[in-house]
Structure 1
């Protein structure tokens, strides 16, 4: 009897093994379909009802008034510096410097951003969190890089020849009528080629974005983990009225 059971177990094992070997699954065909997202799609009442409270709360937060703009602030109102560029660069300076100093014991020397990074005007009237998202929709963070004096000199040449009003704060560039550099000051002092300067910018530009390849020569890089947009929102919360003008931080003599 025991021998018969043993033979039966061996037989079942062989059959099972053979079955496993010959019944493997293979992908034989892939099919796909495309759903067009347009006006022909009907809204889901149940879904709209579900998200309505969240949408309402989000709009309430985005549209709550933080400050007031007495006039429209734009990046198109100056040739070498603009009201929007000056405001955003000054905001980065004021909001990021305390963070940088608390971590390093040093101050930011100046700020350089890119003209294209400002994506919207700030309209005259109430300024809200939504305004900050419109001006700066990107998830760019503030980065502070250490550049030596010779690299700063390259940067000035780039700004002179760029043909765009890239936002700056903490420096002054004056060009002669023939586009030759008349003077360049950092915090009211001439450039010292032997010094290292701490420059606040965005994580996009520090990789050479917008042709600012001189940032790749940084001696050190510190990411503050502070979004530019959040700095703008924090600044809006601190002030009652936004004050900014086209000034003499970057000009050309006639």
Structure 2
């Protein structure tokens, strides 16, 4: 069709205008960057401690002092200059198993310090249950009502609890059928609703005091997280982050970008999660990594505040969903950033208030350091020392044999060059305030207890430490369940009699079948002495100082455990 001459300019103008509109069509909106910082397994390390690491950049082992709430605060202060909306989150074990500076005050200073750092959310960890559910809830909500902790409100006359929220989708109150703590929490950041879903390892009952978690069920982690996700979505969340106290290991450096060799329980959990979950922040294994596995990013920031995971979520502005995850694990170096005066001042106050108690001398000792590390047979010098101490403390109750679990020893027993041990150094070894339980066990039960060291649901072995009155051999070539060499077990030098009853002492955690030792639950005539393991240890050191008639050195001269093959 031929256009009338007067219409040609109009049509041309319209075409040019439309072409111009097409050329000026708005570009797609840039992704929204949401910045997170994560830490896990802080364990009340208020001060900087030794960090031994291998960096992907340098490829060699290094040692430095790292962490400490003053240095964490300085780093976070600098990061928040870059992004005022940055969120600090955790993956459990923020308290429990802590150095004396925190544990002597019931870990209240650690809760206060983490609140001052601006912690927003954290999964609960197994160590948050060390003093039972009532104490966990007190740490969350505040108050001075006595629980299993004997140190409530001793640092300050009141305690308001955590300013952050503990999360646990898979810890269920058996009475109500509901989570003990919130399963998730939603934070709106830069217009995006981000849901943080918390969980703790389902095997928590095997590593905490049974009486402290009575009435609680620890369910499958992935199932609980997946159940919470649609509930969070119904409340408007479009991006989802898992905070889980369960971990894994890799041989790659803690700062290796996108590591690929991660193995362990957290990988299997991640593979079963809803595809909308792109980021899993983990804990428990005290290993630094930033890995890709199961189509997701899985991170962990070592432990003790030595490392922070700096995480950037790239969010689709149209849908609010996660497009990409970038992670950098960075060491927390003292003096790297200008101090946060408020937090540095709080640390100074805690140290000043604690100094006299921690510095109190308790005994002269024979050596500068007594190590937790086990030899090839499974014997630890420090473990034997503690086992001897608990026997001596309960000898009046007829005790013949003492046992100590390695997980209850939280640090080597290190003293100053003058070989004078302080209360703080002793408490660093035994910070849990466990009590000593004496009980009757038959020789057959003791034999089964030893075999249980290789028959563990978690795999591997976990050797009990024994008092000097006890001796046995085990054969690495024999099958599980038959490792102890027949006829090798001796108590006070005499062969073990399966039918005879022996009086035994262990901490209340073990006595309730903790750490995967159900045989202890079969013991008869149990009596909780209410003697703290720490008090037994301190008293033993004081009574057996070098030069005393009782003991010239802290460890027995002969082995207590011998290994064949």
1:86–1:246 Cα contact (<8 Å) kept: no
TM-score, structure 2 normalization: 0.34
Number of the residue aligned with 1:5? none
**Are 2:551 and 1:248 aligned?**
no
Number of the residue aligned with 2:436? 142
| SS across alignment from 2:365 | strand
Number of the residue aligned with 2:370? 73
Q: Which structure 2 segments of 5+ residues have no match?
A: 1-113, 118-338, 547-552
Number of the residue aligned with 1:209? 514
User: Pick from 88, 95, 107: which aligns with 2:393?
Assistant: 95
Whole-Å Cα distance in 2 between the matches of residues 142 and 48 of structure 1? 33
Q: Give how far 1:58 is off.
A: 4.2
Number of the residue aligned with 1:184? 489
Instruction: Describe how 1:148-187 pairs up with structure 2 within 5 A.
Output: 148-159=442-453, 163-169=461-467, 170-176=469-475, 178-179=477-478, 180-182=483-485, 183-187=488-492
Number of the residue aligned with 1:42? 342
2:370–2:381 Cα contact (<8 Å) kept: yes
Is the radius of gyration larger for structure 1 or structure 2? 1
Structure-2 change in CA distance of 1:131 and 1:227 (3 Å)? same
The structure carrying a bigger strand percent of its residues is 2
Q: Deviations over 1:44-85 (max 9, x none)?
A: 99x999x79xx7574223213222342421111413111101
Structure-2 change in CA distance of 1:172 and 1:42 (3 Å)? same
Structure-2 change in CA distance of 1:189 and 1:160 (3 Å)? farther
1:81–1:165 Cα contact (<8 Å) kept: yes
Kindly report the root-mean-square deviation, in angstroms, between the aligned alpha carbons of the 2 structures: 2.9
2:116–2:343 Cα contact (<8 Å) kept: no
2:437–2:529 Cα contact (<8 Å) kept: yes
- Is 109-118 or 236-245 further displaced after alignment? 236-245
Number of the residue aligned with 2:532? 227
User: Pick from 408, 425, 430: which aligns with 1:131?
Assistant: 425
- Is 218-227 or 153-162 further displaced after alignment? 153-162
Whole-Å Cα distance in 2 between the matches of residues 222 and 200 of structure 1? 10
The structure carrying a bigger helix percent of its residues is 1
Q: Which structure 1 segments of 5+ residues have no match?
A: 1-34, 101-106
Q: Give how far 1:136 is off.
A: 0.2
Whole-Å Cα distance in 2 between the matches of residues 205 and 212 of structure 1? 7
Q: Give how far 1:194 is off.
A: 1.6
Whole-Å Cα distance in 1 between the matches of residues 344 and 477 of structure 2? 63
| SS across alignment from 2:414 | coil
Work out the number of aligned pairs and report it. 210
Number of the residue aligned with 2:169? none
| SS across alignment from 1:181 | coil
| SS across alignment from 1:137 | coil
2:379–2:465 Cα contact (<8 Å) kept: yes
Whole-Å Cα distance in 2 between the matches of residues 61 and 236 of structure 1? 17
**Are 2:382 and 1:84 aligned?**
yes
User: Pick from 112, 116, 122: which aligns with 2:413?
Assistant: 122
Q: Deviations over 1:126-167 (max 9, x none)?
A: 311111110000010010111123222211212355623321
Whole-Å Cα distance in 2 between the matches of residues 61 and 83 of structure 1? 26
Whole-Å Cα distance in 2 between the matches of residues 218 and 168 of structure 1? 17
| SS across alignment from 1:42 | helix
